């Protein structure tokens, strides 16, 4: 069996998609054990070699909150930057911003919530408080000409609140776009969304003032829906999708929130649709199998499991 | 968290879909250990209670080939038929047909292959030989007014031959439609298909003379693509989908062919799209969790894993 599906494009879909790799940050922050820095550096290096053009490298969150990423400064200092690859980092607040700047980061991401309860449980603040905390980071970044991505979590469902009205992520996405975020990543943090809801939320976010070409989708596979939702997103004109090599990670704070969409499963579909990503699937699968060995457990990616590469 | 997603219909999709449950046959035939008859009967009974309207109950294949289903006659004798539920059975040949008739079956399915190699490896015959073997079964069923479903395996990829030209399943589907099969189930037996390929194959099967409303899709989740492919099928007007409760089974003969699409994962998506199926997801998840206990291992369904019902 080829390590690539048969290619059958569908009319009306984008011909090129940007895959935003979150494994080294969103994936590894969910690991119970702290992954050694050399392994992280090798992972990022191999992901770049496999053709990923955007790799979220780490987070400048307080080590008290996420000890797994306490080595963020060191990681950025030792990172071998590959030409043509972007290495954004997550910053939760002004202190994180200063650390990120000192470490030489040239692209950032901030994090807010579409729901009140998740803001309180995850960020220890309110929905408004999270936006207020992000505002000076976005302003300071813009002053330096540094692009900032804005993550909005719990756009489709919330572990405490249940269903989320699509007006909620729309309002929050519009507010952080006004602050100056260049891209808005809409997160299905607990993986409950279905394909019609994706379209509804995208429509409302656009109607609230966020241009569709600045919207990315961050989908989890908790209920098996991630790739169907990617397809719905592609049909709705979205061209940026977040995923995690080997399906690493999930949200450490949300119940049942296992299952970042695996980059391999995403690439299998995009390859099959003839949508260009620049990613070499075989190299990526080899990377995830190597990392699974380092972590001591198999990758949950269906493609990694299926391909005995 | 509700045991049901938020409902967001999409214009243009069917409003009702028939879920063809294959767990008791396609799922259990792949089990290493033989499942006791009372467990099988309870499974079928609970699936009917959960609202599944078509449950493929067993296969009248030779016990030498599939000892797991050697109790087919006994199962049919003891089956409590629920009003409004259909219980088709698989028959591989004339001998199986006679056993099925003696057991009181009133709906049948036959099995052919879109590829030469799989026919030889799986059925011990040729592609033509498999159709020749099915022909008298279909003829005898039609003479009795019994509907026969025709499964075509390896419609999208083959473990030995690799990619499969869409003309192959189209030709085979047309031939068994001419024989008199009432529904044609196109199988992605090794789960490699992607969403564009589904559309291509459906178009070619229709062009070869099989009306779209007589085509079902039998998708495997081996590469994580099953639900995206269901969505592509829905958009293409397909209203019948095969799935297996709790993701039971796969094809025992094909390398890597784990992963029937789990009925729960399918129902989550259809519920979210507001597409009626008659299935009670909570009752179904409870059934799969009970069966997982009987089998001594967890269900691979994402929804069953996520919902701690």
Residue-wise pLDDT for B98-144, tens only, equals 999 999 999 999 999 999 999 999 889 999 999 999 999 999 999 99
Mean local confidence (pLDDT), A78-97: 97
Query: For residues A143 and A76, what is the distance between their CA atoms, to the nearest angstrom?
Result: 22
From the number of C-beta atoms within 10 Å of its C-beta (0-12, 13-18, 19+), residue A106 rates as: middle
Residue B309, chain A, CB below 8 Å: the answer is: no
CB atoms within 10 A of CB A213: 11
B81 occurs within a structural domain: yes
Q: How far apart are the first and last CA of chain B?
A: 11
User: What is chain B's mean pLDDT, rounded?
Assistant: 94
- A146 vs chain B: nearest CA distance in angstroms? 36
- Domain of B274, CATH number, reads 3.20.20.70
In a mutational test of the B interface, the residue from A155, A196, A229, A254 whose CB has the highest number of chain B CBs within 10 Å is A196
Residue-wise pLDDT for A156-166, tens only, equals 999 999 999 99
Among B90, B129, B122, which residue's Cα sits nearest to residue B190? B122
User: What is the residue-wise DSSP string for A120-177?
Assistant: HHHHSS-HHHHHHHHHHHHHHHHHTT--EEEEEE-SSEETTTEE--THHHHHHHHHHH
Mean local confidence (pLDDT), B16-32: 93
pTM: 0.96
B106 occurs within a structural domain: no
- As a whole-number percent, the residues of chain B with pLDDT over 70 amount to 96
Q: Do residues A270 and A13 make contact, with C-beta atoms less than 8 angstroms apart?
A: no
Q: Which domain holds residue B68?
A: 18-89+164-170+183-202+209-306
A1 occurs within a structural domain: no
CB contact under 8 A, B200 and A8: yes
A5 occurs within a structural domain: no
ipTM of the shown complex = 0.95
Residues A234, A238, A240, A241: is their CA dihedral positive or negative?
negative
Say what the pLDDT of residue A111 is.
Answer: 96
Say what the pLDDT of residue A2 is.
Answer: 54
Extended strands (E) in B145-235: 148-153, 157-158, 162-163, 183-188, 215-219
B190 occurs within a structural domain: yes
Residue-wise pLDDT for A4-17, tens only, equals 899 999 999 999 99
A85 occurs within a structural domain: yes
- B73 vs chain A: nearest CA distance in angstroms? 36
Residue B66, chain A, CB below 8 Å: the answer is: no
A10 occurs within a structural domain: no
CB atoms within 10 A of CB A2: 12
User: What is chain A's mean pLDDT, rounded?
Assistant: 94
Residue-wise pLDDT for B232-275, tens only, equals 999 999 999 999 999 998 444 444 346 899 999 999 999 999 99
Question: What is the number of domains present in chain B?
Answer: 1
Mean local confidence (pLDDT), B7-14: 96
Longest CA pairwise span in chain A (Å): 52
B53 occurs within a structural domain: yes
């Amino acid at each position: 069996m080829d390590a690539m599906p048969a290619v059958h494009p569908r009319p009306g879909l984008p011909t090129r998609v940007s895959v935003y790799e979150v494994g080294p940050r969103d994936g590894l922050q969910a690991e119970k054990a702290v992954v050694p820095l050399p392994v992280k550096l090798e992972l990022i290096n191999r992901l770049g070699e496999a053709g990923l053009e955007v790799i979220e490298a780490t987070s400048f969150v307080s080590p008290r909150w996420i000890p797994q990423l306490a080595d963020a400064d060191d990681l950025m200092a030792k990172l071998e930057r590959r030409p043509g690859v972007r290495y954004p980092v997550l910053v939760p607040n002004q202190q994180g911003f200063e650390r990120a700047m000192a470490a030489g980061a040239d692209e950032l991401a901030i994090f807010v919530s579409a729901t009140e309860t998740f803001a309180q449980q995850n960020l220890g603040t309110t929905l408004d408080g999270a936006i207020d905390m992000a505002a000076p980071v976005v302003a300071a970044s813009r002053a330096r000409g540094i692009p900032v991505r804005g993550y909005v979590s719990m756009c489709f469902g919330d572990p405490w609140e249940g269903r989320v009205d699509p007006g909620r992520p729309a309002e929050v996405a519009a507010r952080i776009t006004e602050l100056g975020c260049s891209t808005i990543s809409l997160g299905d943090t607990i993986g409950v969304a279905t394909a019609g809801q994706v379209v509804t939320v995208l429509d409302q976010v656009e109607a609230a003032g966020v241009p569709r070409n600045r919207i990315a989708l961050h989908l989890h596979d908790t209920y098996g829906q991630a790739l169907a939702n990617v397809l719905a997103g592609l049909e709705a004109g979205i061209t940026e999708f977040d995923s995690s090599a080997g399906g690493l990670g999930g949200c450490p704070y949300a119940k049942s929130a296992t299952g970042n969409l695996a980059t391999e499963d995403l690439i299998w579909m995009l390859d099959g649709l003839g949508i260009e990503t620049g990613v070499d699937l075989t190299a990526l699968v080899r990377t995830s199998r190597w990392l699974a060995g380092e972590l001591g457990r198999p990758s949950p990616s269906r493609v990694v499991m299926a391909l005995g590469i």
